[in-house]
């Protein structure tokens, strides 16, 4: 059975966010963060990521060599802090450039459509 | 006795334990410790937002929102290599099902004919379950293919255009085919003469002795068919290409052979000896089935590959 329009919309939005989540995460790990503090930092900037998505992502990025982590004890229980590795910093710079190019192009495409509608009698 | 509700920390520990079961052994302790701490902080954060102490309901809501333990563990794994690529899934499923169904269709009537008591049970524990060797074999082959793709990605060749001239005739191959056909005619005629001449005195000749009615009525048509086919082969070798006319003659000869072979089978005995006759008739039926399948395959391949969509 075909998905309802709401389900299709939710799936497409999820696909759209999937690639962005990684870049958003890397952006916040230029300074060391542990899982919960990172999620809070992203949420306060309007980027809410479910904990079930974010915490495993940190491990996968570390497995790919993009993050390094260490256990620290600072006013509370032991926490695993993550930060960008050298490889992660390079990739973050490259992805940032790609993201800016892409958003510029997509913005142009969307605005072109808007201006065409305005120009129509 | 009143039910003992687990405390939030116990719920989290139980949940993390279930996640850990699905993780690689070397990751378990580290991820488990971190996950338990993070879930504890999430819970305390939610409780602070709600202005109350965390309870079982709040903990369950958090954990159920986090996901099923096996799903969560899967997210900790890097993307794996699919054993059966998505584009091959349907073909794989059909190949598996058809293979099992063919084995069952062949063995079930044999078991039913045996007349043994509880023949279904006997069939199921032998051929019925045994038929599943086929999907297992296919999975093993696809696993080896997946390993090769992973280990030697360059082994997957880039796409190359296949410029196939379907009308081209491979002259050496056709010449070999013509030679074999002439040899077959010679052997067949010699066999017929030898078997007919020595049937009374030689046991082996008796086995291959042709039925008199077959030699009188159907055998000449076989020779006629061979003559027509060999003439077509000679023509194709000379021209080096298939023309629409020769293509049509080839199809007509194929259909004629099917009809001829079925007439040979249904029109009476071929050999005098019973075993030789039954074996030959069975083989001829198989040849007809193979020829029809080949003709259907050739027709299917000649269909338009890209059809023009219907507008409107």
A33 forms beta bridges with: A82
Q: Please list, residue by residue across B191-200, b when 16 or more beta carbons sit within 10 angstroms of its beta carbon and e when fewer do.
A: ebeebbeebe
B68 and B13, same domain (yes or no): yes
Best of A40, A50, A55, A75 to substitute, by most chain B Cβ atoms within 10 angstroms, is: A55
B113 and B45, same domain (yes or no): no
pLDDT in tens, A44-58: 999 999 888 999 999
Residue B118 DSSP label: T
The proportion of chain B whose per-residue pLDDT surpasses 70, expressed as a percent, equals 94
Q: Which chain A residue's Cα is nearest to B75?
A: A56
User: Closest Cα of chain B to A19: distance in Å?
Assistant: 14
Answer with the one of B57, B76, B95 that is the final residue of a domain.
Answer: B76
Q: Which pLDDT belongs to residue A3?
A: 79
CB contact under 8 A, B78 and A40: no
3-state per-residue secondary structure call for chain A:
CCCCHHHHHHHHHHHHHHHHHHHHHHHHCCCCEEHHHHHHHHHHCCCCCCHHHHHHHHHHHHHCCCEEEEEEECCCCEEEEEEECHHHHHHHHHHHHHHHHHHHHHHHHHHHHHHHHHHCC
Residue B241 DSSP label: B
CA distance B159 to B169: 26
Q: Work out the average pLDDT over B32-58.
A: 91
Query: Range of B204's domain?
Result: 171-301
B184 and B261, same domain (yes or no): yes
> Which of B54-63, B67-76, B203-212 bottoms out in mean pLDDT, i.e. has the lowest?
B203-212
Task: Give domain status of residue B196, yes or no.
Answer: yes
Q: Which pLDDT belongs to residue B110?
A: 82
Q: Which chain A residue's Cα is nearest to B35?
A: A55
B175 and B271, same domain (yes or no): yes
ipTM higher than the 0.90 cut: no
Give residue B280's pLDDT band: very low, low, confident or very high (50, 70, 90): confident
CB contact under 8 A, A55 and B33: no
| Average pLDDT value over all residues in chain B | 85
Q: Work out the average pLDDT over A56-73.
A: 93
Q: Work out the average pLDDT over B250-267.
A: 88
Q: Which pLDDT belongs to residue B1?
A: 42
CB contact under 8 A, B34 and A55: yes
3-class secondary-structure state, position B311: coil
B99 and B217, same domain (yes or no): no
CB contact under 8 A, B76 and A56: yes
Q: Chain B: which residues have CB within 8 Å of chain A?
A: 27, 31, 33-35, 37-42, 45, 65-67, 72, 75-78
Task: Give domain status of residue B311, yes or no.
Answer: no
> Per the structure block, which two tokens stand in for B31?
């991820």
User: Does A33 reach chain B within 8 Å, measured CB to CB?
Assistant: no
CA distance A101 to A95: 10
Task: Give domain status of residue B160, yes or no.
Answer: no
> Per the structure block, which two tokens stand in for A8?
């299709």
B22 and B128, same domain (yes or no): no
User: Does A99 reach chain B within 8 Å, measured CB to CB?
Assistant: no
Task: Give domain status of residue B1, yes or no.
Answer: no
B220 and B284, same domain (yes or no): yes
Task: Give domain status of residue B163, yes or no.
Answer: no
Answer with the one of B23, B46, B76 that is the final residue of a domain.
Answer: B76
Strands across the sheet with A67-73, in order? A33-34, A78-84, A67-73
CB contacts, 8 Å: B42 with chain A = 36, 51
Task: Give domain status of residue B30, yes or no.
Answer: yes
Give residue B156's pLDDT band: very low, low, confident or very high (50, 70, 90): low
Higher pLDDT, B273 or B302: B273
B44 and B112, same domain (yes or no): no
3-class secondary-structure state, position B199: coil
CA distance B119 to B131: 16
Best of A25, A35, A41, A42 to substitute, by most chain B Cβ atoms within 10 angstroms, is: A35
> Which of A80-94, B23-37, B289-303 bottoms out in mean pLDDT, i.e. has the lowest?
B289-303
Domains (ranges, CATH) in chain A?
5-119 (1.10.10.10)
Which of A35, A55, A63 is nearest residue B78 as measured by Cβ atoms? A63
B285 and B208, same domain (yes or no): yes
| Average pLDDT value over all residues in chain A | 90
Taking each helix axis as running N to C, give the angle between helix B25-50 and helix A35-44, from 0 to 180 degrees, rounded to the nearest 10. 50
Q: Which chain B residue's Cα is nearest to A72?
A: B34
Q: What is the DSSP string of B44-84?
A: HHHHHHHTS---HHHHHHHHHHH--HHHHHHHHSPP---SS
Task: Give domain status of residue B251, yes or no.
Answer: yes
B97 and B200, same domain (yes or no): no
Q: Which chain B residue's Cα is nearest to A36?
A: B38
B175 and B294, same domain (yes or no): yes
Give residue A120's pLDDT band: very low, low, confident or very high (50, 70, 90): low
Number of domains composing chain B: 3
Asked whether A34 and A81 are in contact (CB, 8 A), the reply is yes
3-class secondary-structure state, position B173: helix
The proportion of chain B whose per-residue pLDDT surpasses 90, expressed as a percent, equals 30
Q: Which pLDDT belongs to residue A1?
A: 58
B122 and B240, same domain (yes or no): no
pLDDT in tens, B219-247: 889 889 989 988 998 999 998 888 888 88
3-class secondary-structure state, position B158: coil
**Is residue B67 scored above 80 in pLDDT?**
yes
Q: Which pLDDT belongs to residue B2?
A: 43
**Is residue A85 scored above 50 in pLDDT?**
yes
Answer with the one of B43, B76, B109 that is the final residue of a domain.
Answer: B76
Best of B15, B19, B23, B42 to substitute, by most chain A Cβ atoms within 10 angstroms, is: B42
Q: Which pLDDT belongs to residue A21?
A: 93
Give residue B305's pLDDT band: very low, low, confident or very high (50, 70, 90): low
Which of A55, A57, A63 is nearest residue B35 as measured by Cβ atoms? A55
Task: Give domain status of residue B307, yes or no.
Answer: no
Higher pLDDT, A34 or B250: A34
């Amino acid at each position: 059975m075909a998905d309802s329009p709401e389900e299709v919309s939710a799936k497409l939005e999820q696909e759209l966010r999937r690639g962005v989540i990684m870049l958003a995460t890397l952006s916040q790990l230029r300074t060391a963060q542990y899982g919960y503090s990172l999620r809070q930092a992203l949420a306060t900037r309007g980027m809410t990521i479910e904990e079930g998505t974010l915490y495993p992502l940190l491990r996968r990025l570390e497995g790919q060599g993009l993050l390094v982590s260490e256990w620290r004890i600072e006013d509370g229980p032991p926490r695993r802090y993550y930060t960008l590795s050298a490889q992660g910093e390079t990739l973050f710079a490259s992805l940032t450039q790609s993201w800016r190019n892409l958003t510029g192009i997509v913005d142009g495409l969307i605005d072109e459509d808007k201006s065409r509608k305005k120009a129509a009698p | 006795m009143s039910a003992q509700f687990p405390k939030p920390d116990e719920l989290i520990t139980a949940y993390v334990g279930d996640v850990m079961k699905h993780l690689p052994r070397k990751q378990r302790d580290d991820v488990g410790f971190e996950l338990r701490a993070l879930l504890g902080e999430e819970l305390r954060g939610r409780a602070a937002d709600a202005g109350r102490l965390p309870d079982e309901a709040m903990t369950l809501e958090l954990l159920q929102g986090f996901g099923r333990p096996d799903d969560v563990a899967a997210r900790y794994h890097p993307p794996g290599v699919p054993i059966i690529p998505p584009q091959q899934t349907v073909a794989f499923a059909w190949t598996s099902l058809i293979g099992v169904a063919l084995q069952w269709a062949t063995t079930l009537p044999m078991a039913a004919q045996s007349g043994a008591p509880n023949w279904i049970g006997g069939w199921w524990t032998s051929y019925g379950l045994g038929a599943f060797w086929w999907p297992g074999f296919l999975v093993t082959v696809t696993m080896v293919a997946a390993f090769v793709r992973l280990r030697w990605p360059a082994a997957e060749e880039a796409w190359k255009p296949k410029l196939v001239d379907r009308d081209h005739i491979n002259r050496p191959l056709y010449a070999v085919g013509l030679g074999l056909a002439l040899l077959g005619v010679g052997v067949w005629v010699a066999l017929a003469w030898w078997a007919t001449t020595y049937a009374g005195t030689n046991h082996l000749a008796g086995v291959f002795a042709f039925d008199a009615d077959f030699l009188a009525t159907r055998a000449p048509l076989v020779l006629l068919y061979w003559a027509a086919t060999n003439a077509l082969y000679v023509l194709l070798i000379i021209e080096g290409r298939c023309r629409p006319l020769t293509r049509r003659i080839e199809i007509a000869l194929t259909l004629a052979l099917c009809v001829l072979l079925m007439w040979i089978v249904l029109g009476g005995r071929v050999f005098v000896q019973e075993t030789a006759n039954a074996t030959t008739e069975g083989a001829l039926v198989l040849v007809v089935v193979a020829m029809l399948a080949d003709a259907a395959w050739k027709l299917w391949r000649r269909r338009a590959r890209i059809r023009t969509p219907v507008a409107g």
